[in-house]
Amino acid sequence: MSAVDPVYALGLAGVLFVLGLLGVLVRRNIIFVLASIEIMVNAAGLAFLAAGARWGQADGQVMFVFILAMAAAEVAVGLALALRIRRRFNTLDVDDLRKLKD
Amino acid sequence: MQHVLWLIPFLPVLGFAVLVVFGHRMGRRTIAVIGAAPAGAAAAVAIATAVSFLVAPPATHAYDQVMWTWFRIGAFAPRIAFHLDPLSLVMTLVVTFVGFLILLYSTRFMRGDEGYRRFFAYMDLFIASMLILVLAGDFLFLLVGWEGVGLSSFLLIGFWYRERANGAAARKAFIVTRVGDTALLVGLLLIFTKLGTLDIQGAMAAAQSQWAQGAAVATAAALLLMGGAIGKSAQLPLQTWLPDAMAGPTPVSALIHAATMVTAGVYLIARTHVLFELSPTARLVVAVIGAATLLYAGVSALAQNDIKRALAYSTISQIGYMFLALGVAAWSAAVFHFLTHAFFKALLFLSAGLVIKAMDEEHDIRKMGGLRRDIPVVFRLFLIGAAALSALPLVTAGFFSKDLIVDLALTSVHGGVWLWLAGVVGALLTSLYSFRLVFLVFFGERRGSAPVATRFPRLVVWPMVALAAGSVVLGWIELPVHWHGWSLFTDFMASALPVPGIRAGGLLDAIAVTLIPAIVSVAGVYLAWVLFGRRRPAVAGSLVTRPGFRWLAGAALAGWGFDRLYHVALVRPFLWLAHHGQRDWIDRLVSGIAGPAAALGGLLRRTQDGRLRYYLAAAALGIVVFVAVGLLR
Amino acid sequence: MSLVFLLAIPFAGGIVAWVAARWSAAACRWVALASAVAGLGLAVGLWAQHYHMWGAAVPSRSIYVEPVPFFSELDVPWIPQAGIRLHLAADGLSLVMLMLTFVIVAVAVLASWRGVRRRAGLFHFMLLWAAASLAGVFMAFDLFLFYFFFELMLIPFFLLVVLWGHEGRRRAAIKFFIYTQAGGLLMLISIVGLYFIHGRQTGTYTFDYLQLVNSGISGWTGRLLMLGFFAAFAVKLPAVPLHGWLPDAHSQANTAGSVLLAGLLIKVGAYGFLRFLIPLFPQAASDIRYIAMGLGVAGILYGAVMAFSQTDLKRMVAYTSVSHMGFVLLGVFAWNQIALQGVILQIVCHAFSTGGLFILAGVLEERLGTRDIGGMGGLWARLSTLGGFGMFLVMAALGLPGLGNFVAESLILLGTFSVSRPAAIVGSLGLIVSTIYALWLVQRVFHGPGGESKPGTPARLAPREILMFVVAIVVLLWLGLYPQTLIRTTDAATGSLLRTAPAMQSPEPGSSATEAQP
């Protein structure tokens, strides 16, 4: 099994990250925002994996496990919040939620 | 007797303190005793001191008693110290003796007043302060008395505090004199800075030895002290407070605003005569102020209709004479006039008080008339006072003292014809306005209501009789210069106050100098009779109808517009400033910084509008910028 | 070690008072009073113990050669890495300030004996912690420690205004906080700057006052550093034009708060000038001498005119403070023995005369329910005892000879006269304007008509209230007739302060070498 050139892996991670970021910026539905954040987190995880593979260190995989756990927790909290917000404000549009600021 | 000097001011202080702390539990009789007794006791101590001083004159010609060193900072060590020389002795005797008589009079005169205790407390405070003023051996200690008399004068002018007008008069008196006091304080700063001491005798000796004749610094110091003196003594241009000060009870006007406090300025200049000897300029200024004031106030007195205001202007005028004497270096003549003036002016005020009481608080002489039949005792006493004020020759004390001043105004080496002329014209004015009062109040027909009281208790009358006796006989201790008789007063003063040099003159001069004022004062009485005393005051009537004269009389009545001038030039700008500054523009300006800060905050707040996606975009942009900067460096 | 107790007593007393309030408000008040009196007793004991040290009959010049008269030093490392030490010491000046602190706090406790019902425990805690931090300020001989207490002080004062003040208290408290905090931060910059510059020059990085004194930093660096201190102290003092917080804070605080503010807080500014600003930067200070004196004169006159124009009694008294503190600024920058003694006397006398007037305002407000001068008048008929006290305090405020303020102000003017004649002459005009506002006050409040028309007779003065006035009267009379007690206490201290700042040396008035004949 030949190693993948880390440049490609990092490039993929970068593309995924930017896609996720654009998703966060342009989507107004809170579910899609959460999904986009998930993509960004996984992009970061991919970058860790690629770097770990490149240096032959286990640290990258350790970090990926951390990220998975964190992402799972985040999704759980995020979806629960989204549910409460839907119930309470009857919307999932983040721009409509500006009133939370006050 | 040196060691009991402190008792003289302390006794009235004690009386004041007892009345203030315990007075609310006392009856009127106790209050009267505690109020008047300290002045009597102080008078007794003063007389005992005087006797011992005369019998066995101290080698230094003065008693000194140092109580304690006030404080000591480096070389600056003012002391709470008393200094009694002939000058102080005369002042002390007058203050305690006349003060005691007036307090005796007040015990009955003020009986019906609800502020009985307050009255005596304030009077004691005044007498104590005045005694400190005349006995202080240190300028700083002198200021204690100086401001103390100002305070008690303020309290007593505004004694009937419910009337706003009385409060205004009291305030005016304090503030106007305080203007002079500030000059005095600056003068003391100058003296200390230059001479290194505020001990009066020490400073005078130092000035004598260190400053040249006519030195600018001596002139400056003398003029600054004179500023304090003219404020206290109501001389031009700070005279405006005294006529208004008549708002106080009549005994107050008699003691404070006629006999004693207003002469504090005379005392101060006599006390610091060394400075004025060094500075011909300052002396000339004093003489001119005195001459101008005596004419100004004499004319104003002639136009007054309020009996007390007329007497107040007369006081200003008589103090003008004292200043004239000081200006020609006739120091002891000034003090001599102070002495006789204290007696006859107090007498006049106390009589006026009885007249006012008899007329049921009526001050206007146009509504009196013919009172000599109703209150003959008061008439006689008033007549004696008026005669002494007019300086009727030989029979009154006022003649001897005023003659001395008018004489020396010409014959002193520092005198001059113009000053003498002012004195002579002033003498005419004096007898004119004095006997105008006499004729309008006591002669003619009754023009107002009938008197409500015609008999007065002995405790009121006898003190006045004592004052009247003084007004008649006191003059004989000092005969006119050209009589070549005795001059006990000047001799006694000689150790404290130098005798002025006399210009040599012929016999004709001497006759002219002695005779003319005497003739003029008698002529003034006759003129007053012609104008105001005869049944048909035809001359006066024809005068009054002329518009020019009415304008003149109105101006004189209003004190020649000084009040209005000060109101426009000082009071109104100050009130304007206070009114417009009420909201503190400096604070507003500084607090104005808050405005731009708030605006900036408002701008920044706009960026935090709650739109999450913009926050994130900004954050992403920020990261990109930072990374770009990091990479491109 | 007694200096430590001077800190510990009020700190601990504050906590005990807070706890005691759980049981009863009275216990809390008594604890607070006892702590203040204990602190006072200790300070007076220290003073009595050292009184003989300070030039009983020192001939005029010998003060310039005596050693620095500090005593009772506690000097232990606090943060040694940064050269910060817990350095407590006191000289005559500090001791005077300490005694003043505890007297005024005791009076403040008495003044709020009946008035403070809400959260009494917290209130007395704040009072005592204010006292403790003030005591710290007056004893700290380490700049960092000084700054620590200087800022600590702000918290109790802020809360005293904001929690127990009058209707406009929030705005006033915030204004007060921003002013003092801005000044304080500028001073912090200067302290740190001084620390580094001094460290770089000498190699020892230290905040110790005695080492930093007269550090010889001159030129623009010195001037800028000095201005940082100037900002902090000029705000506290307050000097025109930085006085804006004072009328608001004084008038909105309750009686005890006003007494503390007028009696102590603003004195920190005066103390700071004396102890820190000029000794640390003599050269720079002498550069701005005439500007500062000008500000002092401006303060005297401006404060007096403003006082005259106020209608709120407490606001009026507050402006008189601005006027009186103008004299302090004038005297500090005159910087000779006579002027400095005058400044210290003024500090003490002003605390009592103005503190007394604030108590008067509080007493009147309690009885009449108003601070508006227009709503008073004719009170003499109904409250003649209070009228007498008011008259006395007002006379003290206008500088009546025989009372302490007169000695203070004339010493300041005397000291100023040999440095700058115009300043002394214009400053003495303040005596006229102060007469105007003082008479106006007493006449509008106590004289005039209207005494009978209003229903009801206000309650007579309680013994507690009389006690407070009597304390003020006794002190003012004493300092007016025999200020030597105080002057002797601070004689050596002022002498050593003068010695630290030779660049500011000014002619001592009255000495033979003062001036040449014109």
Tens-digit pLDDT profile for residues B146-194: 999 999 999 888 888 888 888 888 888 888 898 889 999 999 999 988 8
Question: What pLDDT score was predicted for residue C62?
Answer: 38
What's the predicted TM-score (pTM) here? 0.86
Chains with ≥3 CB–CB distances under 8 Å to B: A, C
Mutation target to probe the B interface, by most B beta carbons within 10 A, among A36, A89, A95 is: A95
SS3 B476: helix
Closest by CA to B152, choosing from B132, B135, B174, is B174
Confidence class for position B420, pLDDT limits 50, 70, 90: confident
Confidence class for position B472, pLDDT limits 50, 70, 90: confident
Chain C residues touching residue B213 (CB < 8 angstroms): none
Q: pLDDT of B53-68, one tens digit each?
A: 888 888 888 888 888 8
Rounded Cα distance, B381 and B464, in Å: 7
Q: What is the fold, at CATH topology level, of the domain defined by A6-95?
A: Helix Hairpins (1.10.287)
Residues 543-602 of chain B with CB under 8 A from chain C are 574, 577-579, 581-582, 584, 586-587, 589-591
For C6-13, what is the mean pLDDT? Answer: 88
Side-chain-side CA neighbours of A33 within 13 Å: the count stands at: 18
Side-chain-side CA neighbours of A64 within 13 Å: the count stands at: 16
Are the CB atoms for C163 and C119 separated by under 8 Å?
yes
Confidence class for position C64, pLDDT limits 50, 70, 90: very low
Are the CB atoms for C469 and C356 separated by under 8 Å?
yes
Question: What pLDDT score was predicted for residue A77?
Answer: 93
Instruction: Give me C113's structure tokens.
Output: 């004996």
Closest by CA to C336, choosing from C413, C276, C271, is C413
Q: Could you report how far apart the first and last alpha carbons of chain A are, in Å?
A: 57
Judging by beta carbons within 10 Å of its beta carbon (0-12, 13-18, 19+), is residue B547 exposed, middle or buried? exposed
Instruction: Give me C246's structure tokens.
Output: 């004072």
Question: Between the ranges B425-429, C162-166, C369-373, where is the mean pLDDT highest?
Answer: B425-429
Q: Which residue of C has its CA nearest to B155?
A: C391
Q: pLDDT of A19-61, one tens digit each?
A: 999 998 888 888 888 899 999 999 999 999 988 888 888 888 9
Instruction: Give me A87's structure tokens.
Output: 């119930």
Confidence class for position C72, pLDDT limits 50, 70, 90: low
Nearest to C378 among B162, B582, B590 (CB): B162
Are the CB atoms for B307 and B441 separated by under 8 Å?
yes
Handedness of CA C198, C203, C206, C210 (dihedral sign): negative
Task: Give the pairing type, strands B79-84 and C84-90.
Answer: unpaired
Higher pLDDT, A63 or B403: A63
Chain C residues touching residue B125 (CB < 8 angstroms): none
| Phi, then psi, of B235 in degrees rounded to 5 | -100, 165
Rounded Cα distance, B112 and B28, in Å: 10
Q: What is the CA radius of gyration of chain B?
A: 30
Confidence class for position C297, pLDDT limits 50, 70, 90: very high
Can you give the length of chain B in residues?
633
Rounded Cα distance, B342 and B318, in Å: 10
- The single-letter code of the amino acid at B470 is G
Q: Do chains B and A touch (3 or more CB pairs under 8 A)?
A: yes
Closest by CA to C324, choosing from C345, C302, C342, C350, is C350
- Whether C220 shows a pLDDT value over 90: the answer reads no
Rounded Cα distance, C39 and C473, in Å: 22
Distance from CA of A100 to the nearest CA of B (A): 7
Q: pLDDT of C359-386, one tens digit each?
A: 988 888 888 877 888 777 777 777 788 8
Higher pLDDT, B4 or C299: C299
Rounded Cα distance, B96 and B9, in Å: 9
Query: H or E stretch including B305?
Result: none
Chains with ≥3 CB–CB distances under 8 Å to C: B
- Whether C218 shows a pLDDT value over 90: the answer reads no
Rounded Cα distance, B476 and B488, in Å: 9
Question: What pLDDT score was predicted for residue C65?
Answer: 39
For B192-201, what is the mean pLDDT? Answer: 87
Nearest to B617 among A25, A99, A100 (CB): A25
For C286-314, what is the mean pLDDT? Answer: 89
Closest by CA to C473, choosing from C323, C360, C339, C314, is C360
Distance from CA of B279 to the nearest CA of C (A): 15
- Whether A69 shows a pLDDT value over 90: the answer reads yes
> Assign residue B343 a region: left if phi > 0, alpha if psi is -120 to 50, beta otherwise?
alpha
Closest by CA to B109, choosing from B351, B311, B315, B305, is B351
Higher pLDDT, B404 or C192: C192
Rounded Cα distance, B24 and C254, in Å: 32
Q: What are the residue ranges of helices labelled H in B23-115?
A: 28-55, 86-109
Q: Does A58 touch chain B (CB under 8 A)?
A: no
Q: How confident is the prediction for chain B on average, in pLDDT?
A: 84
Question: What pLDDT score was predicted for residue C132?
Answer: 92
Q: pLDDT of B589-600, one tens digit each?
A: 877 887 888 888
SS3 C277: helix
Nearest to B178 among C431, C440, C448 (CB): C431
Rounded Cα distance, B118 and B128, in Å: 15
- Whether C341 shows a pLDDT value over 80: the answer reads yes
Question: What pLDDT score was predicted for residue C456?
Answer: 59
Higher pLDDT, A50 or B573: A50
For B229-257, what is the mean pLDDT? Answer: 88
Query: H or E stretch including B64?
Result: strand B63-69
Q: Does A88 touch chain B (CB under 8 A)?
A: no
Rounded Cα distance, B234 and B237, in Å: 8
Q: Which residue of A has its CA nearest to B608?
A: A101
For B465-492, what is the mean pLDDT? Answer: 80
Chain B residues touching residue A102 (CB < 8 angstroms): 610
Q: pLDDT of B273-301, one tens digit each?
A: 888 888 888 988 999 999 999 888 888 88
User: What's the DSSP call for residue B62?
Assistant: S
Rounded Cα distance, C130 and C11, in Å: 9
- Whether B509 shows a pLDDT value over 80: the answer reads no
Cβ <8 Å between B73 and C491: yes
Rounded Cα distance, B388 and B386, in Å: 5
Q: Does A94 touch chain B (CB under 8 A)?
A: yes
Question: What pLDDT score was predicted for residue C352?
Answer: 92
Cβ <8 Å between A101 and B608: yes
Closest by CA to C257, choosing from C386, C158, C125, is C158
Question: What pLDDT score was predicted for residue A1?
Answer: 42
Chain B residues touching residue C476 (CB < 8 angstroms): none
Residues 144-173 of chain B with CB under 8 A from chain C are 144, 146-148, 151, 154-155, 158, 161-164, 167, 170-171
- Whether C513 shows a pLDDT value over 60: the answer reads no
Handedness of CA C409, C338, C230, C144 (dihedral sign): negative
Indicate the domain borders of chain A: 6-95
Question: What pLDDT score was predicted for residue C103?
Answer: 92
For B70-74, what is the mean pLDDT? Answer: 83
